[in-house]
Amino acid sequence: MDTKIPNILLIYTGGTIGMIKDYKTNALKAFNFKKIKEKIPELNLLDCEIQTISFDLPIDSSNMNPEYWVNIANIIQENYYKMDGFVVLTGTDTMSYTASALSFMFENLNKPIIFTGSQLPIGDLRTDAKENLITAIQIATTQEDNLPLITEVGLYFEYKLYRANRTTKISADHFDAFNSPNFPPLAESGVHLNFNRSLLKKQSNIQKLKVRKKIDDSIVILKLFPGINKKVVQCILEIPDLKGVVLETYGSGNAPTSKWFLDLLKKTVDKKIPVINVTQCIYGSVLMGLYETSNELKKMGVIDGKDITTESAIAKLKYLIGEKVSSSEFGNIFQTSLRGEMS
């Protein structure tokens, strides 16, 4: 059977991975990714063609926002039928948010979109950038019967490929910076690159790609803590034009039973503002109604976020509000796994 060499588009948005040190001044400056094979000659061993696109002004991940998500989506959409896979380089601090958002924005995806980055600049002596980049590209090129093996948005970091919308950043100073608390890795890189094939999403080639770019950012996170007072909660829940709330609760979805707290939440729900219950715990799931402290939330119509991460809940909420999902359907749709983001 004839096989064609995969074409991979490398998209650099900003972040540590794209920095190199000027050894005369010791300052970090943006790397020219058009010269990527000169900096990482090992890429020549991969049987693929690599093209690159960089943002005109690389952005720090702390400045990442939905406008940039749409920019990334536009680049991928414009090149979707010319390329066999995409590798997106961003800063690590908000990578889980961005990668989760892209997973919802691309419906009927049939090609890999792999996010990666690094903890140290690409020009650093001990950098993790080379391994992350080389293996992310290799994953994006992996095919079976001339079709990509990965057909979803992934995040590759420190020898593991995760489903992007299941990830969270867990370390600021270790190379093993990401984890997927409630879902196993899609692949692990060691002596061999091993894919957990039973977990990979399978898409129908018949369905046409749809790119959803209406992202609404009129949402807020309300993180509970012992002693949170009425004035704080009221200020948050009564923000003008608020359209959605991610409520970070304790344990399996538990919250205070104070009358003022429940009244403010019910008032919010009654205004048709979706309130999503997610756990502050890294591992585990919301189980509303298991304890009395979550039963009232369930009764008033707070939406069960199950085992979704906060990052993915934010992305999904922005996406569904942007798509103008009706209040009558919102709860059922949010509680349905759309891109493998919840169990």
On whether both 27 and 132 belong to a single domain, the answer is yes
Please state, as a whole number, how many other Cβ atoms lie within 10 Å of the Cβ of residue 287. 18
Whether residues 114 and 39 share a domain: the answer is yes
Q: Three-state SS for 157? A: strand
Residues 123 and 270 in one domain: no
Residue 1 has a pLDDT of 43
Report residues of the chain scoring pLDDT below 70: 1-3, 203-205
Residues 26 and 148 reside in one and the same domain: yes
Q: What is the pLDDT of residue 20?
A: 80
Last residue of a domain, one of 211, 234, 261: 211
pLDDT (0 to 100) of residue 26: 72
Q: How many CB atoms lie within 10 A of CB 285?
A: 17
Is residue 150 domain-resident? yes
Q: Total structural domains in the chain?
A: 2
Do 40 and 105 reside in the same domain of the chain? yes
Range of the domain at 299: 219-334
Judgement on whether residues 235 and 138 belong to the same structural domain of the protein: no
Question: Which residue's entry shows tokens 């540590």?
Answer: 16
164 and 308, same domain (yes or no) = no
* Residue 179 located in a structural domain: yes
Query: DSSP letter string over 48-99?
Result: SEEEEEE-SS---GGG--HHHHHHHHHHHHHHTTT-SEEEEE--STTHHHHH
Q: What is the CATH number of the domain that holds 203?
A: 3.40.50.1170
What pLDDT was estimated at residue 143? Answer: 93
Residue type, 293: T
Task: Using DSSP, state whether 178 is helix, strand or coil.
Answer: strand
- Compute CA distances 33 → 18, 40, 62, whole Å: 8, 10, 22
In a domain, 307, yes or no: yes
Do 96 and 188 share a domain, yes or no?
yes
C-alpha to C-alpha distance for 216 and 319, rounded to whole angstroms: 7
The β-bridge relationship of strands 275-279 and 244-249 is parallel
21 and 143 fall within a common domain: yes
317: which 2 tokens? Answer: 């909420």
Mark whether 167 and 226 lie in a shared domain: no
Q: State the CATH number of the domain containing residue 252.
A: 3.40.50.40
Q: Are residues 64 and 181 in the same domain?
A: yes
Residue 28 lies in a domain: yes
Last residue of a domain, one of 179, 211, 243: 211
Residues labelled as active-site residues = 16
DSSP code for 206: T
